């Protein structure tokens, strides 16, 4: 019996060292070597300081910025430590009420905009941390952002087009605009 326990403990220590220490270190080292930006969290820096991640959405509420998708994370919006969706289905009245409130807020922020509100501006993504919006959602907000910044709308729309990325490998996903990247480009444009 003692030999079995000793062998079991030796195997536990060996497997803990392999799967709990050696493997994670090897994967992390390989990731840092092959994909350094992604391994460090895809951080976006400005003047040498990190201002966010290209992969995690942030809340922008100032009218001079483009707003991202709503976040369903808790206890606060865009909480990267608690990625989650709302889990509300299309027949749930709470989802309908939330969408109506978000549409009303978008209309109040830009009363002259009678265009249909893109769905990604009123519904949260599955992770609650989506950093991107559709090109339609960016174009919908362009007039508000241009007015708040005192910029010509065509200049803001040109920035939207410049920051629109196509489908991955030409077939996966949908065209998208990274909200943080677009807002940082707007700030840089204003500093000139």
Q: What is the pLDDT of residues 44-98, one digit of tens each?
A: 888 889 888 888 888 899 999 999 998 877 777 777 777 777 777 888 898 889 8
Bridging pattern class, strands 176-178 and 43-46: unpaired
**What's this model's pTM, rounded to 2 decimal places?**
0.80
Q: pLDDT (tens digit, 9 = 90+) per residue, 137-148?
A: 999 999 999 999
Q: Residue 43 is inside which H or E element, if any?
A: strand 43-46
* pLDDT the model gives residue 46: 86
* pLDDT the model gives residue 186: 94
């Amino acid at each position: 019996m003692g030999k079995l326990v000793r062998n079991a403990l030796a195997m536990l220590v060996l497997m803990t060292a392999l799967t709990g220490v050696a493997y994670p270190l090897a994967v992390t080292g390989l990731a840092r070597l092959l994909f350094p930006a992604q391994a460090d969290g895809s951080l976006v820096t400005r003047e040498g300081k990190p201002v966010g991640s290209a992969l995690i959405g942030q809340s922008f509420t100032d009218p001079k910025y483009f707003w991202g998708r709503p976040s369903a994370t808790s206890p606060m919006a865009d909480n990267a430590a608690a990625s989650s969706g709302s889990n509300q289905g299309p027949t749930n009245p709470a989802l309908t009420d939330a969408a109506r409130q978000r549409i009303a807020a978008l209309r109040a922020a830009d009363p002259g905009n009678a265009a249909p509100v893109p769905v990604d501006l009123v519904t949260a993504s599955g992770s609650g941390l989506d950093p991107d919006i559709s090109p339609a959602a960016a174009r919908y907000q362009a007039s508000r952002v241009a007015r708040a910044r005192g910029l010509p709308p065509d200049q803001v729309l040109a920035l939207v087009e410049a920051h629109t990325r196509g489908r991955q490998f030409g077939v996966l996903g949908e065209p998208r605009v990274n909200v943080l990247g677009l807002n940082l480009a707007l700030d840089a444009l204003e500093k000139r």
